[in-house]
Structure 1
Protein backbone atom coordinates (compact mmCIF):
# COMPACT_ATOMS: atom_id res chain seq x y z
CA UNK A 1 0.00 0.00 0.00
CA UNK A 2 1.88 3.02 -1.25
CA UNK A 3 -0.51 5.96 -1.28
CA UNK A 4 1.56 8.54 0.58
CA UNK A 5 -1.14 11.21 0.91
CA UNK A 6 -1.37 13.33 4.05
CA UNK A 7 -5.01 12.21 4.43
CA UNK A 8 -3.99 8.54 4.58
CA UNK A 9 -1.18 9.31 7.01
CA UNK A 10 -3.51 11.33 9.22
CA UNK A 11 -6.15 8.59 9.20
CA UNK A 12 -3.61 5.89 10.09
CA UNK A 13 -2.19 8.10 12.84
CA UNK A 14 -5.74 8.70 14.10
CA UNK A 15 -6.11 4.93 14.46
CA UNK A 16 -2.92 4.84 16.58
CA UNK A 17 -4.27 7.72 18.66
CA UNK A 18 -7.66 6.05 19.12
CA UNK A 19 -6.05 2.81 20.33
CA UNK A 20 -3.87 4.77 22.76
CA UNK A 21 -6.84 6.78 24.03
CA UNK A 22 -8.96 3.66 24.52
CA UNK A 23 -6.16 1.88 26.36
CA UNK A 24 -6.03 4.89 28.69
CA UNK A 25 -9.84 4.83 29.07
CA UNK A 26 -9.80 1.16 30.07
CA UNK A 27 -6.93 1.72 32.50
CA UNK A 28 -8.43 4.84 34.07
CA UNK A 29 -12.17 4.17 33.94
CA UNK A 30 -12.62 0.55 32.92
CA UNK A 31 -14.75 1.50 29.92
CA UNK A 32 -14.45 1.37 26.16
CA UNK A 33 -16.79 2.53 23.43
CA UNK A 34 -17.98 -0.52 21.49
CA UNK A 35 -17.90 1.10 18.03
CA UNK A 36 -14.46 2.61 18.60
CA UNK A 37 -13.22 -0.77 19.84
CA UNK A 38 -14.73 -2.68 16.93
CA UNK A 39 -13.19 -0.56 14.17
CA UNK A 40 -9.70 -0.74 15.70
CA UNK A 41 -9.63 -4.40 16.71
CA UNK A 42 -11.24 -5.61 13.46
CA UNK A 43 -8.28 -4.02 11.64
CA UNK A 44 -6.10 -6.81 13.04
CA UNK A 45 -7.78 -9.39 10.82
CA UNK A 46 -7.89 -7.20 7.70
CA UNK A 47 -4.71 -8.58 6.19
CA UNK A 48 -5.15 -7.93 2.47
CA UNK A 49 -6.56 -4.39 2.09
CA UNK A 50 -6.38 -2.29 -1.05
CA UNK A 51 -6.88 1.06 0.69
CA UNK A 52 -6.72 2.51 4.18
CA UNK A 53 -10.52 2.84 4.07
CA UNK A 54 -10.76 -0.95 3.64
CA UNK A 55 -9.04 -1.45 6.99
CA UNK A 56 -11.20 0.92 9.04
CA UNK A 57 -14.84 0.40 8.21
CA UNK A 58 -16.84 2.45 8.88
CA UNK A 59 -14.19 5.14 8.95
CA UNK A 60 -16.58 7.38 10.86
CA UNK A 61 -15.86 5.20 13.91
CA UNK A 62 -12.35 6.68 13.90
CA UNK A 63 -13.80 10.10 14.78
CA UNK A 64 -12.47 9.82 18.33
CA UNK A 65 -9.02 9.10 16.95
CA UNK A 66 -9.14 12.08 14.60
CA UNK A 67 -10.22 14.26 17.53
CA UNK A 68 -7.40 12.84 19.65
CA UNK A 69 -4.91 13.54 16.84
CA UNK A 70 -6.04 17.17 16.80
CA UNK A 71 -5.64 17.50 20.57
CA UNK A 72 -2.26 15.76 20.62
CA UNK A 73 -0.69 17.63 17.70
CA UNK A 74 -2.28 21.10 17.86
CA UNK A 75 0.02 23.98 18.78
CA UNK A 76 -2.31 25.05 21.61
CA UNK A 77 -1.87 21.76 23.46
CA UNK A 78 -5.46 22.06 24.69
CA UNK A 79 -6.80 18.66 25.71
CA UNK A 80 -3.43 16.95 25.19
CA UNK A 81 -2.85 13.88 27.36
CA UNK A 82 0.61 12.98 28.63
CA UNK A 83 -0.42 9.34 28.98
CA UNK A 84 -1.76 9.15 25.42
CA UNK A 85 1.41 10.82 24.13
CA UNK A 86 3.51 8.21 25.94
CA UNK A 87 1.44 5.31 24.61
CA UNK A 88 1.58 6.62 21.03
CA UNK A 89 5.37 6.93 21.25
CA UNK A 90 5.67 3.42 22.68
CA UNK A 91 3.38 1.95 20.02
CA UNK A 92 5.36 3.54 17.19
CA UNK A 93 8.65 2.34 18.71
CA UNK A 94 7.34 -1.24 18.99
CA UNK A 95 6.04 -1.17 15.42
CA UNK A 96 9.46 -0.17 14.13
CA UNK A 97 11.10 -3.02 16.02
CA UNK A 98 8.50 -5.46 14.74
CA UNK A 99 9.07 -4.38 11.13
CA UNK A 100 12.78 -5.13 11.51
CA UNK A 101 12.15 -8.64 12.87
CA UNK A 102 11.13 -11.07 10.15
CA UNK A 103 10.68 -13.98 12.56
CA UNK A 104 8.34 -11.99 14.79
CA UNK A 105 6.35 -10.82 11.75
CA UNK A 106 5.97 -14.39 10.51
CA UNK A 107 4.88 -15.61 13.95
CA UNK A 108 2.41 -12.77 14.24
CA UNK A 109 0.95 -13.56 10.81
CA UNK A 110 0.45 -17.20 11.80
CA UNK A 111 -1.23 -16.26 15.06
CA UNK A 112 -3.51 -13.74 13.34
CA UNK A 113 -4.53 -16.47 10.87
CA UNK A 114 -5.50 -18.63 13.86
CA UNK A 115 -7.71 -15.83 15.18
CA UNK A 116 -9.33 -15.46 11.74
CA UNK A 117 -10.27 -19.16 11.86
CA UNK A 118 -11.56 -18.68 15.40
CA UNK A 119 -13.86 -15.93 14.12
CA UNK A 120 -15.83 -18.56 12.21
CA UNK A 121 -17.23 -19.54 15.61
CA UNK A 122 -16.90 -16.41 17.76
CA UNK A 123 -17.38 -12.66 17.40
CA UNK A 124 -14.43 -10.31 17.61
CA UNK A 125 -15.75 -9.10 20.97
CA UNK A 126 -15.74 -12.58 22.52
CA UNK A 127 -13.39 -12.95 25.48
CA UNK A 128 -11.69 -15.96 23.86
CA UNK A 129 -10.79 -13.84 20.83
CA UNK A 130 -9.64 -10.94 23.00
CA UNK A 131 -7.47 -13.39 24.95
CA UNK A 132 -5.82 -14.56 21.75
CA UNK A 133 -5.10 -11.02 20.57
CA UNK A 134 -3.71 -10.17 24.01
CA UNK A 135 -1.43 -13.20 23.97
CA UNK A 136 -0.09 -12.22 20.52
CA UNK A 137 0.93 -8.89 22.01
CA UNK A 138 2.44 -10.50 25.13
CA UNK A 139 4.22 -13.34 23.34
CA UNK A 140 5.51 -11.61 20.19
CA UNK A 141 5.36 -7.82 20.31
CA UNK A 142 6.10 -6.83 23.89
CA UNK A 143 9.31 -8.93 24.15
CA UNK A 144 10.83 -6.91 21.29
CA UNK A 145 11.74 -4.26 23.86
CA UNK A 146 10.52 -0.92 25.09
CA UNK A 147 7.64 -2.37 27.10
CA UNK A 148 4.72 0.03 27.42
CA UNK A 149 3.79 0.63 31.05
CA UNK A 150 0.11 1.55 31.28
CA UNK A 151 -0.90 3.61 34.30
CA UNK A 152 -4.42 3.70 35.66
CA UNK A 153 -6.80 2.93 38.49
CA UNK A 154 -5.76 -0.25 40.34
CA UNK A 155 -9.31 -1.61 40.54
CA UNK A 156 -9.57 -1.50 36.75
CA UNK A 157 -6.01 -2.55 35.97
CA UNK A 158 -6.27 -5.61 38.22
CA UNK A 159 -9.20 -7.07 36.27
CA UNK A 160 -7.89 -9.77 33.90
CA UNK A 161 -10.30 -8.87 31.10
CA UNK A 162 -9.24 -5.22 31.24
CA UNK A 163 -5.60 -6.30 31.04
CA UNK A 164 -6.41 -8.32 27.92
CA UNK A 165 -8.34 -5.43 26.38
CA UNK A 166 -5.40 -3.07 26.94
CA UNK A 167 -2.97 -5.52 25.32
CA UNK A 168 -5.36 -6.00 22.42
CA UNK A 169 -5.63 -2.24 21.93
CA UNK A 170 -1.84 -1.88 22.01
CA UNK A 171 -1.61 -4.64 19.38
CA UNK A 172 -4.17 -2.82 17.22
CA UNK A 173 -2.16 0.36 17.73
CA UNK A 174 0.98 -1.38 16.50
CA UNK A 175 -0.94 -2.57 13.45
CA UNK A 176 -2.02 1.05 12.81
CA UNK A 177 1.54 2.28 13.28
CA UNK A 178 2.78 -0.21 10.68
CA UNK A 179 0.10 1.07 8.31
CA UNK A 180 1.12 4.66 9.07
CA UNK A 181 4.67 3.86 8.01
CA UNK A 182 3.47 1.96 4.93
CA UNK A 183 1.71 5.10 3.69
CA UNK A 184 4.79 7.24 4.31
CA UNK A 185 4.42 8.28 7.94
CA UNK A 186 7.67 9.07 9.75
CA UNK A 187 8.40 10.29 13.24
CA UNK A 188 9.72 13.60 11.92
CA UNK A 189 6.27 14.27 10.47
CA UNK A 190 4.95 14.56 14.02
CA UNK A 191 7.07 17.72 14.27
CA UNK A 192 7.28 19.09 10.75
CA UNK A 193 3.85 18.04 9.40
CA UNK A 194 1.77 18.55 12.53
CA UNK A 195 -0.28 21.38 11.05
CA UNK A 196 -0.97 19.38 7.89
CA UNK A 197 -2.09 16.38 9.96
CA UNK A 198 -4.37 18.55 12.10
CA UNK A 199 -5.84 20.25 9.03
CA UNK A 200 -6.53 16.88 7.38
CA UNK A 201 -8.09 15.46 10.55
CA UNK A 202 -10.43 18.44 10.87
CA UNK A 203 -11.46 18.13 7.21
CA UNK A 204 -12.08 14.40 7.54
CA UNK A 205 -14.23 14.95 10.63
CA UNK A 206 -16.52 17.24 8.64
CA UNK A 207 -17.27 14.37 6.24
CA UNK A 208 -18.98 12.23 8.91
Structure 2
Protein backbone atom coordinates (compact mmCIF):
# COMPACT_ATOMS: atom_id res chain seq x y z
CA UNK A 1 0.00 0.00 0.00
CA UNK A 2 1.33 3.42 -0.87
CA UNK A 3 1.10 6.42 1.44
CA UNK A 4 -1.90 7.81 -0.43
CA UNK A 5 -3.97 4.65 0.31
CA UNK A 6 -5.90 5.87 3.35
CA UNK A 7 -9.59 5.66 4.14
CA UNK A 8 -9.62 9.48 4.35
CA UNK A 9 -8.26 9.86 0.82
CA UNK A 10 -10.64 7.22 -0.53
CA UNK A 11 -13.56 9.00 1.16
CA UNK A 12 -12.59 12.37 -0.34
CA UNK A 13 -12.23 10.92 -3.83
CA UNK A 14 -15.54 9.07 -3.45
CA UNK A 15 -17.21 12.33 -2.39
CA UNK A 16 -15.72 13.86 -5.54
CA UNK A 17 -17.46 11.17 -7.63
CA UNK A 18 -20.81 11.74 -5.89
CA UNK A 19 -20.50 15.50 -6.24
CA UNK A 20 -19.90 15.31 -9.97
CA UNK A 21 -22.94 13.08 -10.58
CA UNK A 22 -25.05 15.33 -8.35
CA UNK A 23 -23.99 18.29 -10.52
CA UNK A 24 -24.94 16.36 -13.67
CA UNK A 25 -28.35 15.49 -12.30
CA UNK A 26 -28.96 19.05 -11.12
CA UNK A 27 -27.96 20.52 -14.50
CA UNK A 28 -30.02 17.97 -16.43
CA UNK A 29 -33.17 18.49 -14.36
CA UNK A 30 -33.02 22.19 -13.35
CA UNK A 31 -30.48 23.70 -15.75
CA UNK A 32 -28.53 25.02 -12.75
CA UNK A 33 -25.55 24.03 -10.64
CA UNK A 34 -24.05 25.49 -7.51
CA UNK A 35 -21.04 27.59 -8.72
CA UNK A 36 -18.78 26.67 -5.80
CA UNK A 37 -19.58 22.99 -6.14
CA UNK A 38 -18.93 23.14 -9.90
CA UNK A 39 -15.61 24.96 -9.41
CA UNK A 40 -14.52 22.34 -6.83
CA UNK A 41 -15.29 19.49 -9.23
CA UNK A 42 -13.67 21.14 -12.26
CA UNK A 43 -10.59 22.25 -10.34
CA UNK A 44 -9.71 18.63 -9.62
CA UNK A 45 -9.30 17.96 -13.36
CA UNK A 46 -6.35 20.35 -13.59
CA UNK A 47 -4.62 19.01 -10.47
CA UNK A 48 -2.61 16.17 -11.93
CA UNK A 49 0.21 15.82 -9.42
CA UNK A 50 -0.79 15.59 -5.78
CA UNK A 51 0.15 13.51 -2.76
CA UNK A 52 -2.91 14.69 -0.86
CA UNK A 53 -6.30 14.07 -2.40
CA UNK A 54 -7.73 17.12 -0.61
CA UNK A 55 -5.41 19.35 -2.69
CA UNK A 56 -7.21 18.27 -5.86
CA UNK A 57 -10.33 19.93 -4.46
CA UNK A 58 -8.65 23.17 -3.45
CA UNK A 59 -7.06 22.15 -0.15
CA UNK A 60 -10.16 21.95 2.06
CA UNK A 61 -13.37 19.97 2.12
CA UNK A 62 -15.65 23.00 1.59
CA UNK A 63 -15.50 22.60 -2.16
CA UNK A 64 -16.73 18.99 -1.95
CA UNK A 65 -19.08 19.43 1.00
CA UNK A 66 -22.04 18.54 -1.20
CA UNK A 67 -20.33 15.36 -2.35
CA UNK A 68 -19.74 14.34 1.27
CA UNK A 69 -23.39 14.97 2.17
CA UNK A 70 -24.70 13.03 -0.83
CA UNK A 71 -22.30 10.21 -0.12
CA UNK A 72 -23.69 9.96 3.43
CA UNK A 73 -27.29 9.76 2.24
CA UNK A 74 -26.39 7.27 -0.53
CA UNK A 75 -24.26 4.93 1.60
CA UNK A 76 -25.89 5.36 4.97
CA UNK A 77 -29.45 6.40 4.46
CA UNK A 78 -32.54 4.25 4.27
CA UNK A 79 -33.94 3.39 0.87
CA UNK A 80 -36.07 6.58 0.85
CA UNK A 81 -33.05 8.85 1.16
CA UNK A 82 -31.16 7.11 -1.63
CA UNK A 83 -31.33 8.55 -5.10
CA UNK A 84 -31.32 5.82 -7.76
CA UNK A 85 -30.15 8.15 -10.55
CA UNK A 86 -27.16 9.23 -8.46
CA UNK A 87 -26.32 5.60 -7.62
CA UNK A 88 -26.59 4.58 -11.27
CA UNK A 89 -24.43 7.44 -12.55
CA UNK A 90 -21.82 6.91 -9.82
CA UNK A 91 -21.46 3.17 -10.56
CA UNK A 92 -21.29 3.81 -14.31
CA UNK A 93 -18.65 6.50 -13.75
CA UNK A 94 -16.56 4.15 -11.57
CA UNK A 95 -16.76 1.46 -14.27
CA UNK A 96 -15.91 3.93 -17.04
CA UNK A 97 -12.98 5.38 -15.07
CA UNK A 98 -11.64 1.88 -14.42
CA UNK A 99 -11.89 1.04 -18.13
CA UNK A 100 -10.06 4.27 -19.04
CA UNK A 101 -7.20 3.46 -16.67
CA UNK A 102 -6.67 0.24 -18.62
CA UNK A 103 -6.55 2.10 -21.94
CA UNK A 104 -3.17 3.75 -22.43
CA UNK A 105 -4.16 5.69 -25.55
CA UNK A 106 -7.08 7.37 -23.81
CA UNK A 107 -4.98 8.15 -20.72
CA UNK A 108 -2.37 9.81 -22.95
CA UNK A 109 -5.03 11.73 -24.89
CA UNK A 110 -6.49 13.02 -21.62
CA UNK A 111 -3.07 13.94 -20.27
CA UNK A 112 -2.32 16.04 -23.36
CA UNK A 113 -5.77 17.65 -23.30
CA UNK A 114 -5.51 18.49 -19.60
CA UNK A 115 -2.05 20.05 -19.91
CA UNK A 116 -3.45 22.14 -22.76
CA UNK A 117 -6.30 23.27 -20.50
CA UNK A 118 -3.81 24.06 -17.71
CA UNK A 119 -1.95 26.41 -20.04
CA UNK A 120 -5.13 28.38 -20.87
CA UNK A 121 -4.55 30.50 -17.78
CA UNK A 122 -8.15 31.40 -16.99
CA UNK A 123 -10.63 30.76 -14.20
CA UNK A 124 -11.85 27.17 -14.05
CA UNK A 125 -15.51 28.16 -14.41
CA UNK A 126 -15.15 30.51 -17.38
CA UNK A 127 -17.29 29.45 -20.36
CA UNK A 128 -14.23 28.95 -22.61
CA UNK A 129 -12.63 26.64 -20.05
CA UNK A 130 -15.84 24.65 -19.52
CA UNK A 131 -16.25 24.32 -23.27
CA UNK A 132 -12.63 23.14 -23.60
CA UNK A 133 -13.10 20.46 -20.90
CA UNK A 134 -16.41 19.38 -22.47
CA UNK A 135 -14.72 18.97 -25.86
CA UNK A 136 -11.99 16.90 -24.27
CA UNK A 137 -14.65 14.63 -22.75
CA UNK A 138 -16.45 14.40 -26.07
CA UNK A 139 -13.37 13.63 -28.16
CA UNK A 140 -11.65 11.17 -25.84
CA UNK A 141 -14.32 9.56 -23.67
CA UNK A 142 -17.86 9.78 -25.03
CA UNK A 143 -17.37 6.76 -27.37
CA UNK A 144 -16.11 4.48 -24.58
CA UNK A 145 -18.33 2.14 -22.61
CA UNK A 146 -20.26 2.24 -20.44
CA UNK A 147 -21.71 5.40 -21.98
CA UNK A 148 -23.16 7.63 -19.33
CA UNK A 149 -26.68 8.56 -20.32
CA UNK A 150 -27.82 11.49 -18.21
CA UNK A 151 -31.61 11.78 -18.12
CA UNK A 152 -33.44 15.02 -17.47
CA UNK A 153 -35.42 17.80 -19.13
CA UNK A 154 -34.80 17.84 -22.92
CA UNK A 155 -34.76 21.67 -22.87
CA UNK A 156 -31.71 21.63 -20.63
CA UNK A 157 -30.05 18.61 -22.22
CA UNK A 158 -30.33 20.21 -25.67
CA UNK A 159 -28.95 23.53 -24.46
CA UNK A 160 -25.29 23.74 -25.54
CA UNK A 161 -24.03 25.49 -22.43
CA UNK A 162 -25.79 23.10 -20.06
CA UNK A 163 -24.71 20.04 -22.07
CA UNK A 164 -21.09 21.29 -22.04
CA UNK A 165 -21.19 21.84 -18.29
CA UNK A 166 -22.55 18.30 -17.78
CA UNK A 167 -19.68 16.86 -19.86
CA UNK A 168 -17.12 18.93 -17.95
CA UNK A 169 -18.62 17.75 -14.64
CA UNK A 170 -18.43 14.12 -15.84
CA UNK A 171 -14.76 14.65 -16.66
CA UNK A 172 -14.34 15.93 -13.09
CA UNK A 173 -16.06 12.78 -11.84
CA UNK A 174 -13.66 10.62 -13.83
CA UNK A 175 -10.74 12.52 -12.31
CA UNK A 176 -12.14 11.56 -8.89
CA UNK A 177 -12.49 7.91 -9.99
CA UNK A 178 -8.81 7.90 -11.00
CA UNK A 179 -7.86 9.44 -7.63
CA UNK A 180 -10.03 6.88 -5.85
CA UNK A 181 -8.37 3.97 -7.66
CA UNK A 182 -4.91 5.44 -6.98
CA UNK A 183 -5.81 5.52 -3.25
CA UNK A 184 -6.75 1.84 -3.30
CA UNK A 185 -10.50 2.28 -3.86
CA UNK A 186 -12.38 -0.60 -5.50
CA UNK A 187 -15.95 -1.86 -5.89
CA UNK A 188 -15.56 -4.59 -3.18
CA UNK A 189 -14.07 -1.98 -0.80
CA UNK A 190 -17.17 0.13 -1.33
CA UNK A 191 -19.21 -2.67 0.27
CA UNK A 192 -16.81 -3.76 2.99
CA UNK A 193 -15.65 -0.31 4.07
CA UNK A 194 -19.01 1.39 3.91
CA UNK A 195 -19.19 2.18 7.62
CA UNK A 196 -15.63 3.49 7.67
CA UNK A 197 -16.37 5.71 4.68
CA UNK A 198 -19.49 7.02 6.43
CA UNK A 199 -17.59 7.80 9.64
CA UNK A 200 -14.87 9.55 7.69
CA UNK A 201 -17.41 11.52 5.63
CA UNK A 202 -19.03 12.68 8.87
CA UNK A 203 -15.65 13.90 10.17
CA UNK A 204 -14.80 15.65 6.90
CA UNK A 205 -18.15 17.37 6.28
CA UNK A 206 -17.85 21.10 7.05
CA UNK A 207 -20.45 22.13 9.64
CA UNK A 208 -21.39 25.74 9.19
TM-score (norm 2): 0.94
Secondary structure (helix, strand or coil) at the match of 1:189 reads helix
Which residue in the other structure is 1:166 paired with?
A: 166
Contact 1:73 1:190 in 2 (8 A): no
Q: Which aligned pairs between 1:63-78 and structure 2 lie closer than 5 A?
A: 63-74=65-76, 76-78=78-80
Within 5 Å, which residues of 2 pair with 1:117-132?
A: 117-118=119-120, 120=121, 122-132=122-132
CA contact (8 A) 1:14 1:62 kept: yes
Long gaps (5+) in structure 1: none
- Deviant stretches of 4+, over 3 Å: none
CA deviation string 1:93-144 (max 9, x = no partner): 11111100111111111011111111x2x32212111111111111112222
Deviation at 1:192, TM superposition (A): 1.5
Find the aligned partners of 1:83 and 1:130 in 2 and give their Cα distance: 24
- Kindly indicate whether the alpha-carbon contact (under 8 Å) linking 1:71 and 1:78 is maintained by their aligned counterparts in 2: no
Sort the Cα spacing of 1:66 and 1:84 in 2 relative to 1 into closer, same or farther, 3 A. same
Aligned length: 206
Deviations 1:49-102, CA, capped at 9 Å, x for gaps: 121121111321211000000011115234211111111011111111110011
Paired residue for 1:22? Answer: 23
Question: 5+ unaligned residues in a row in structure 2: which ranges?
Answer: none
Q: Aligned to 2:115, which of 103, 109, 113?
A: 113
CA contact (8 A) 2:42 2:169 kept: yes
Q: Deviations 1:142-164 (Å, cap 9, x if unpaired)?
A: 22211000000111111100000
Question: Using a 3 Å threshold, how does the CA distance of structure 1 residues 130 and 75 change in structure 2: closer, same or farther?
Answer: closer
Distance 2:12 2:162 in 1: 26
Q: Which residue of 1 aligns with 2:50?
A: 49
Residue matched to 2:184: 184
Query: Residues 113 and 84 (structure 1 numbering): CA distance in 2 closer, same or farther, change over 3 Å?
Result: same
RMSD (Å) for aligned C-alpha atoms: 1.4
SS of equivalent to 1:181: helix
**Separation in 1 of the partners of 2:77 and 2:131?**
39
